[in-house]
Structure 1
Amino acid sequence: MPLFRMVAATAAELPEAVALCCGPRHVTYTQLVADAGRLAAWLSSLGLAPGDRLAVLLPNSIELVTVILAACRAELVLVPLLLDAPPTRQAEIIGQTGARGLVLASGLGAAIPAETREQLAVTVCLGRPEPGTVGYDSFFAHTPSAPVPRSTVPDPICLLVYTSGSTGRPKAVAHTQERLARRVEAFVQALGVTADTTVAVFAVHRPVVLVFQVLAMLRQGGTVVLAENPDPAAFWRLYGEVRPGYCLVMPSYARKLFADPAAARVDHSRLRFWLSGGDAPGQALYEASRRITGRPYCNLYGLTETGLVAVVAPSETDKPGCVGRPVGDVSMRLVDDAGQGVPEGSPGRLLVTSANMMAGYFNDTMATHRAIGTGWYDTGDCMRRDAEGDYWFLGRSGDIIVRHAVQVAAALVADVLAGYPGVAEAVVVGAPDAEAGQVPVAFYRTAGPDPGAETLLRYLADRVDALSVPVACLAIAQWPVTPRGKTDRQQLTALAVKCLGRVRGDV
């Protein structure tokens, strides 16, 4: 239970410091550790044993963090469920992981099919108990009669997080306590997180990001402010009240925030940096952060399988678009299609290795062997490395457009296009073409008058090679996003195909 001990050590040093805030409520480190320990004992008394999977369907809340720590203390395996997933998906995850317990908020019972809930040994309900559940608050009255059982496994699995499915059927990625604890240490060292820091953590669609961010702050003795994603006006009110040291926000959400007039009216004096992950922020977001808040927008790079891989430190943010350098014990290398290393500055597929990567895919030995059997994990992302050792994200391997057998880096073309005055953001996708195989199509969003497609195409023609010039530049008012907040490139590709078909008279 190293993760629980890690937070307990902080509580011993800073017993009365505020650990968590959510709305008008807050808890100290002493109270948080005591509640998590009591909850762990209560869950054990209900029949949950070390190694049992505990599914969790809760909003950002003090109770969510308490359950996370209690699961670590009882050496249960946490299985986070997404609030917006359909009931069929929730049932699949519970069934595939063999979860024996479930903690959910009152009113969310309909999100779990009745036949699935009947298979669970324990269902705990936060708030007004629903039929067939045990009230969450019951643990406050529980007096432990025996020590919480311990696992016989040296480094037990503590977390199962599903991949997004962007590269195939979603798989449950297993993380262990020791590995997660070491990744937390690497993160706080890389970003210089200290005990006097307050971080605002908003709802994210990657549970591992939430767990990781909360544990990192609790490791250092700072304060975590938890909230769902409010509208921009409500966000800036909360921001002004808590005055965080940094904020973790996804790029799609950050764009809405910086577009709100309130962004320029609040006090940013305690803010050190913005932190982004999950999608490329884009040049416009870097500039907006500097212009409006006077603080850098730092990018971190990681995957569900590897955890945090690289980060741009707040002191090294003069390279918009860069994902930074490896953190902790992470090693990165770039290879070509034959698996050979590529020269400095050349694009290559990123391989990652670390002693703290995933333990494997849950109950899938063959998939685990294919993914990390060599000791290196193939991310499927295309990057380049500059002379200073910084890595630059160029896109997924699937985002590399092959036009007349020549590779076109979509992200590089988009970055050039975003450099045109008045273009706020740009994305380039590949559309199928009978003659060329694929052709690049650019989408752009403006921050003022539209310069027009012809002007932008001439601008690109002067700055990129001929095969990298898109066949069309299409203005878009708002980016389509996936349920996880990333730019939905599949929707853009479908729109590109449709628009090209109209131009050619195919539709």
Structure 2
Amino acid sequence: MAAAKADGTPLQQLLARSAKACPQKIAIRTESGDASYSQLYSLVGRVSAAMMNLGIGAMDRVGWLLPNCLQAVACTLACYSIGAVSVPINVRYASDEVAYMVNKVQAKMLFLSVGKLDVLQDLPAHLQLIVIGAQTSQRLSHRSWDEFLQTDVEASSAPVSTEHPALILFTSGSTGRPKGVLHSHGTCWAAIRISAEAFQLRSDDVVLVGKAITHAGGLQTQLLPTLMMRGEVVLSMVPPAATAVDLIRRFHVSVYAMLSSFLLDFVDYLEISDHNLPSLRRVIGSGDSVPLHVQSRFHKLFGWPVLEGCGITEIGGYFATQPIGKEKPGSIGLPTARTEVRLVDVDGKAVPLGQPGEVLLKTPSAAVGYWDDPEATSSLFQDGWLRTGDIARKDEDGYLWFVGRRKLIIVRRGSNIAPAAVERVLATHPEVQSSVVVGVPDELDGQVPIAWVLAKDKACPPANASLAEHMSKRLATYEVPVCYWFLDEIPLNSVGKFDRAGLQKAAEERYQILANAHRAGA
């Protein structure tokens, strides 16, 4: 392991450098108040001292089950400062999922909001609990935030090496239990720098964080890059469209990034309201592919394109983004700085130009591996390359075009179907707002595609025959969905993406009922 520098890693110095350069500038705006860079730096120092006072040191895991708030920011930065490992946990997780994560990493301390006290019944008794929003401790095992901060210990940091563990981000767990993705100080710093460079963040930018900071998209591609560049963060808990517009106007937001599903809501809202937002200069959509019709509608509203970013938890940020000024609508752009990309077939051999293959990566932000899971860690890498599980193709200009995810590929009579490709075609139907395509088991075909559809006019959805005709003209016969089922809204999972796992299960159950009824009537 590399020797620690006297002043710590770049990740440990991130806030200190910004606070020294612009102490009085607003760093973060929240619903509960604002904090300048010097005030945030002071708070992080107090949290670091309080953690150390309670026995937290290098390598200890510290969980935080918090919404987007100032305390959450202070918790993770304090962990970095003293060499502890920050473990963000999404507030949308149920109590048994929280307990699993806490136990998996053997957390020594957990910060949680007073509204999440229902999870305590499933947590280990030895866990030190700090409750945000509580006036006083309710039991000896709890401390309120104010009680926690009361300490005589001097604020200090513990310099570590860039290889030292910094962050465990849990995957969304669409298949099996969530896995804890382990990042070091060096890989976290690389993800933060790459994001700042990709979107050309500046010190005069005001960035509205449109994702939960318990995940890489909020923490490492929005919040921390902005603080690194000495910009201003507006921190809200994944604001709905009307709230986002209000915040953009009130604080003159210049950069706003959100999940693709929320971008659709944002465009819908602006089309029926006063959409004059002159301060905005960048909007980024990610998490799922941004449909071309949404990109077109966005361009009509603003006169400039929405950008796409594609990344995974295992690299803590983006591996491809639309190059600013050289966008190709529909693509996910070019590889980010210092990122190498290979596209390979099932045998690990490079695919010809234009052909789809699994995306393999080499990037300085690649995770160390999965926490306490050597088997999964081993399968994550192939000859030094990180396997993403994403399927893409590359064009003659080097742009990447997302095809689908390896685990989501539907195999029908030996032919592969990428749900994302089917969804893109569905999105071109004039009466379709959005869709999720899943594969279900079928006795004859192995698997068949099913489309869950959100119609533009929910009271009068398109006829199945209209959808089938539209799709059959644009797709191979085997790619055309066998059923179109309508939803009043597309459910979201714990990280705010379309709940593909839930819709997959619902489709399998419904299709099985139909199959049983068909057999009974035969």
Task: Please report the TM-score for the alignment, with normalisation by the length of structure 2.
Answer: 0.89
Tell me what 1:476 maps to: 487
Tell me what 2:400 maps to: 391
Aligned AA (1:178): G
For residues 400-432 of structure 1, the C-alpha deviation after alignment (integer angstroms, 9 at most, x for no partner) is 222222223332232223223333223333232
Instruction: Output the CA distance in 2 between the equivalents of 1:348 and 1:496.
Output: 27
> 1:119–1:472: structure 2 CA closer, same or farther, 3 Å change rule?
same
Aligned pair count reads 503
Asked if structure 2 preserves the Cα contact closer than 8 Å seen for 1:3 and 1:181, the reply is: yes
Deviation, 1:287, is 2.8
> What is the SS of the residue equivalent to 2:212?
coil
Deviation, 1:218, is 0.2
Asked if structure 1 preserves the Cα contact closer than 8 Å seen for 2:95 and 2:122, the reply is: no
Aligned AA (2:319): V
Tell me what 1:137 maps to: 146
Instruction: Output the CA distance in 1 between the equivalents of 2:375 and 2:503.
Output: 34
Which of 323, 326, 333 matches 1:313? 323
Asked if structure 1 preserves the Cα contact closer than 8 Å seen for 2:440 and 2:511, the reply is: no
Asked if structure 1 preserves the Cα contact closer than 8 Å seen for 2:24 and 2:36, the reply is: yes
> What is the SS of the residue equivalent to 1:113?
helix
Is 1:196 the counterpart of 2:204? The answer is: yes
Tell me what 2:59 maps to: 51
Asked if structure 2 preserves the Cα contact closer than 8 Å seen for 1:50 and 1:150, the reply is: no
> 1:491–1:146: structure 2 CA closer, same or farther, 3 Å change rule?
closer
State how 1:32-111 maps to structure 2 within 5 Å.
Answer: 32-111=40-119
Is 1:269 the counterpart of 2:275? The answer is: no
> 1:462–1:313: structure 2 CA closer, same or farther, 3 Å change rule?
same
Which of 431, 439, 452 matches 1:422? 431
Tell me what 2:6 maps to: none
Deviation, 1:67, is 1.6
> 1:58–1:475: structure 2 CA closer, same or farther, 3 Å change rule?
closer
> What is the SS of the residue equivalent to 1:119?
coil
Aligned AA (2:384): G
Instruction: Output the CA distance in 1 between the equivalents of 2:433 and 2:78.
Output: 45
Query: Which moved further from structure 2: 448-457 or 325-334?
Result: 448-457
Instruction: Output the CA distance in 1 between the equivalents of 2:156 and 2:282.
Output: 43
Which of 173, 183, 186 matches 1:165? 173
Is 1:255 the counterpart of 2:264? The answer is: yes
Deviation, 1:193, is 0.6
Asked if structure 1 preserves the Cα contact closer than 8 Å seen for 2:405 and 2:418, the reply is: no
Tell me what 1:208 maps to: 216
Deviation, 1:176, is 0.9
RMSD (Å) for aligned C-alpha atoms? 2.5
> 1:452–1:306: structure 2 CA closer, same or farther, 3 Å change rule?
same
For residues 20-72 of structure 1, the C-alpha deviation after alignment (integer angstroms, 9 at most, x for no partner) is 00026111111111221232122212211111111112221112111221111
Which of 461, 477, 486 matches 2:472? 461
Deviation, 1:129, is 2.9
Tell me what 2:4 maps to: none
Instruction: Output the CA distance in 1 between the equivalents of 2:452 and 2:471.
Output: 13
> 1:441–1:369: structure 2 CA closer, same or farther, 3 Å change rule?
closer
Aligned AA (2:199): L
Asked if structure 1 preserves the Cα contact closer than 8 Å seen for 2:65 and 2:112, the reply is: yes
Task: Please report the TM-score for the alignment, with normalisation by the length of structure 1.
Answer: 0.91
Instruction: Output the CA distance in 2 between the equivalents of 1:197 and 1:482.
Output: 30
Instruction: Output the CA distance in 2 between the equivalents of 1:224 and 1:420.
Output: 38
Aligned AA (1:364): D
For residues 200-224 of structure 1, the C-alpha deviation after alignment (integer angstroms, 9 at most, x for no partner) is 1145285222221211000001111
Tell me what 1:505 maps to: 518
Tell me what 2:497 maps to: 486
Instruction: Output the CA distance in 1 between the equivalents of 2:505 and 2:106.
Output: 37
Instruction: Output the CA distance in 2 between the equivalents of 1:199 and 1:485.
Output: 19
Instruction: Output the CA distance in 2 between the equivalents of 1:214 and 1:446.
Output: 34
Instruction: Output the CA distance in 1 between the equivalents of 2:266 and 2:100.
Output: 35
Instruction: Output the CA distance in 2 between the equivalents of 1:351 and 1:434.
Output: 34
Asked if structure 1 preserves the Cα contact closer than 8 Å seen for 2:241 and 2:269, the reply is: yes
Instruction: Output the CA distance in 1 between the equivalents of 2:379 and 2:424.
Output: 34
> 1:163–1:20: structure 2 CA closer, same or farther, 3 Å change rule?
same
Deviation, 1:108, is 2.8
Aligned AA (1:461): S
Which of 313, 333, 354 matches 1:345? 354
Aligned AA (1:126): I
Asked if structure 1 preserves the Cα contact closer than 8 Å seen for 2:53 and 2:151, the reply is: no
Deviation, 1:146, is 7.7
Instruction: Output the CA distance in 2 between the equivalents of 1:422 and 1:220.
Output: 43
Aligned AA (1:21): R
Deviation, 1:17, is 1.2
> 1:447–1:295: structure 2 CA closer, same or farther, 3 Å change rule?
farther
Deviation, 1:79, is 0.9
Instruction: Output the CA distance in 2 between the equivalents of 1:134 and 1:471.
Output: 56
Q: Which runs of 5+ in 2 are unaligned?
A: 1-8
Deviation, 1:139, is 6.3
Deviation, 1:141, is 5.3
Which of 411, 429, 452 matches 1:402? 411
Deviation, 1:506, is 4.5
Aligned AA (2:126): Q
> 1:107–1:415: structure 2 CA closer, same or farther, 3 Å change rule?
closer
Instruction: Output the CA distance in 2 between the equivalents of 1:53 and 1:15.
Output: 30
Q: Which runs of 5+ in 1 are unaligned?
A: none
Asked if structure 2 preserves the Cα contact closer than 8 Å seen for 1:22 and 1:62, the reply is: yes
Deviation, 1:373, is 5.8
Instruction: Output the CA distance in 1 between the equivalents of 2:365 and 2:466.
Output: 49
Asked if structure 1 preserves the Cα contact closer than 8 Å seen for 2:292 and 2:329, the reply is: no
Asked if structure 2 preserves the Cα contact closer than 8 Å seen for 1:17 and 1:28, the reply is: yes
Tell me what 1:227 maps to: 236
Tell me what 2:131 maps to: 125
> 1:230–1:426: structure 2 CA closer, same or farther, 3 Å change rule?
closer
> 1:299–1:206: structure 2 CA closer, same or farther, 3 Å change rule?
farther
> What is the SS of the residue equivalent to 1:432?
strand
Which of 182, 188, 202 matches 1:180? 188
> What is the SS of the residue equivalent to 1:192?
coil
Aligned AA (1:78): S
Instruction: Output the CA distance in 2 between the equivalents of 1:154 and 1:235.
Output: 36
Asked if structure 1 preserves the Cα contact closer than 8 Å seen for 2:271 and 2:301, the reply is: no
